Structure 1
Amino acid sequence: MQADHHSVSFGNEEEEFYYHRIHRKRPFERNNHYHGTYEIYYLISGERSYFIKEKLYSIQAGDLILINKFDVHKTSGQGDPEHERIVINFSDSFLGSGHPFLPAGLLSMFDQDQPVLRLRPSEQDSVMHILDSMAAEILNRSPAFEHMLRLQLTELLIKANRLSASAIEPASPSLNPLHQKITDVVQYINSHYPLKITLKQLSDTFYISPFYLSRIFKEITGFTIVNYIQLTRIREAQRLLLSTDLRIVDIAETVGFESLTHFDRTFKKMTSMTASRYRKLNSQQ
């Protein structure tokens, strides 16, 4: 059974629960993306670079990464491309608001500034035991296995919450000056997205030529500057659609769109649905 665990897939990352384990030997790089579910990423072997929200991290085997809903993230190679990892995504509704074993405030750890936990060997063994047990439930499909997955996920979350307060040697963001400069640009966009932001304005603010800024921003983040600004606005619009009763026209203005038509077109392009349909399908009851 253990050998079968090296390739396991269950669910979809945008649905209630998703588990995916894979061992890759060839170069692999996923584009920047985000989703409306929480993500737990565990690197079993190898080394990777991880861009999360606005910082770049170097991660190694045994690192546990916690990614909040709607946080932009991207993995890419670092050295030898061979690596093995496990990804778990889950929604707010998967464990249920009335789950008797879910401590209050447990998910707040996904909102911390340090998303990468560097685990001791004994902690790695403990985490892998839970992850392997989840894989066994998925592969065997025993009666009520999905209920068991909920219990195992709760155990993993409690374990991660404890480790977030005691993990040693947290992985530091890359100190590469170029990466730091782009981090500063990303932070600026994240703070000023409701306002009009132009390439010239960013160029003047950060003392980089427009051409060079455009090129290195795309190389490091995977986005053009215009696309990243639009993504940031749409990501905030999604949050407001789910967490407020604001009218869609007011949300469009709040996140920085000058017209509802432009907002509607951009929202549908990025999410494959209208804002009203997104609110209807995803609003929690």
Structure 2
Amino acid sequence: MENMPSYSVNNFDKFAFEYIRTDRQRDMEIFHFHDYYEIYYLVSGQRDYFIDNRTYHVEPGNIVLINKGVIHRTIGNSDAQGYERALFYYEKHFEEEINQRFPNADLFSIFNLDLHVFTLPRENQKFIENQIVKIASECHNKPELYQEYIEVLFIELLMYLKRCINDSLTAVPQTTNLKLAKISDIIAFINNNYMHRLTLSLITEKFYISTSCFTKTFKDATGFTFVQYLNNLRIKHAQYMLRGTDLTVSDIAERVGYESVTHFGRVFKKITGVSPLTYRKQ
């Protein structure tokens, strides 16, 4: 895919596509989650990918499947320089349309697996890379019905991946060493107890790890500080409650672990860009 420029296209109700090639490593500024499905394909280079409470080393030909609402972040790999990757996003309305058109295909079940990263054989890599080239060409040339054709390519990609996974693709294991294994246990604990009062000292005492070791290893493994991770996790759950319940902002703040509704509002706006009430009205 040499000499192919960066492209992006966004049909906000249905799909988005982004392809970039860069000569330097970049970290995603914050870990995040969203209400749409994401497929990440690495063409060249190396990346480390934090997904939920696991870290994966991603190499060329690996494909990453991110479900809705799953916390994730890409992290630059210190042993690599540039990288080349493509992103495919499937919005809620597109999911509903696809499920209506193909009710027995269960295409989005590939995102519900406990596994997130897969190694594609070369012939499968060629198919994915051809899809990228086709979509980029449609984005660049904008021929008649180009958005409709991109929709077809997106659906074809889903069907192809569903078939590949059913044919037993090789899953990429999470990065493991003794320190990271302990960090994974700690992250699982945080995920299950975010609504309670959690402090750095509570974590280090419970898991018999020094503050300095925990702080460094947690940041190295996830790309986040303990406070960043905890706040983003709490705000994620607050967003679900704001959308799906009639609870007051004060009740939601308490349920996700904040003792002060003022502090909750401040953190919420810093992470989302809007106040809780504004978010609920959107």
Common fold by TM > 0.5 = yes
Q: Are positions 1:242 and 2:243 aligned together? A: yes
Q: Are positions 1:226 and 2:224 aligned together? A: no
Q: Is the 8 A contact 1:9 1:19 kept in 2?
A: yes
Give the deviation of 1:68 after TM superposition: 1.8
| Greater Cα offset, 201-210 or 25-34 | 25-34
Distance 1:255 1:120 in 2: 43
* TM-score of the superposed pair, with normalisation by structure 2: 0.88
- Residue 17 (structure 2) aligned to one of 16, 19, 30: 19
Unaligned stretches of 5+ residues in structure 1: none
Q: How does 1:1-285 map to 2 (within 5 A)?
A: 5-11=4-10, 17-36=15-34, 37-75=36-74, 76-77=76-77, 79-97=79-97, 100-103=100-103, 105-281=106-282
Which one-letter code corresponds to 1:27 in the other structure? Q
* TM-score of the superposed pair, with normalisation by structure 1: 0.87
| Greater Cα offset, 106-115 or 58-67 | 106-115
Give the deviation of 1:173 after TM superposition: 0.6
Q: CA RMSD in A?
A: 2.4
The change in CA–CA distance for 1:206 and 1:22 in structure 2 (over 3 A counts) is same
Q: Is the 8 A contact 1:57 1:174 kept in 2?
A: yes
The change in CA–CA distance for 1:48 and 1:217 in structure 2 (over 3 A counts) is same
| Greater Cα offset, 246-255 or 179-188 | 246-255
Distance 1:49 1:214 in 2: 19
Give the deviation of 1:190 after TM superposition: 0.6
Give the deviation of 1:38 after TM superposition: 2.0
- Give per-residue Cα distances to partners, 1:66-89, cap 9 Å, x unaligned: 112232222221533232111122
Give the deviation of 1:121 after TM superposition: 1.4
The change in CA–CA distance for 1:148 and 1:100 in structure 2 (over 3 A counts) is farther
| Greater Cα offset, 238-247 or 197-206 | 238-247
- Give per-residue Cα distances to partners, 1:155-178, cap 9 Å, x unaligned: 212222222333433111111222
Total equivalences in the alignment: 279
- Give per-residue Cα distances to partners, 1:52-101, cap 9 Å, x unaligned: 11111122211110112232222221533232111122321245447643
Q: Is the 8 A contact 1:32 1:221 kept in 2?
A: no
SS at match of 2:170: coil
| Greater Cα offset, 3-12 or 46-55 | 3-12
The change in CA–CA distance for 1:161 and 1:254 in structure 2 (over 3 A counts) is farther
Q: Is the 8 A contact 1:31 1:222 kept in 2?
A: no
SS at match of 1:250: helix
Q: Is the 8 A contact 2:32 2:232 kept in 1?
A: no
SS at match of 1:253: helix
Give the deviation of 1:11 after TM superposition: 3.3
Q: Is the 8 A contact 2:17 2:88 kept in 1?
A: yes
The change in CA–CA distance for 1:118 and 1:143 in structure 2 (over 3 A counts) is same
Give the deviation of 1:123 after TM superposition: 1.4
The change in CA–CA distance for 1:165 and 1:6 in structure 2 (over 3 A counts) is farther
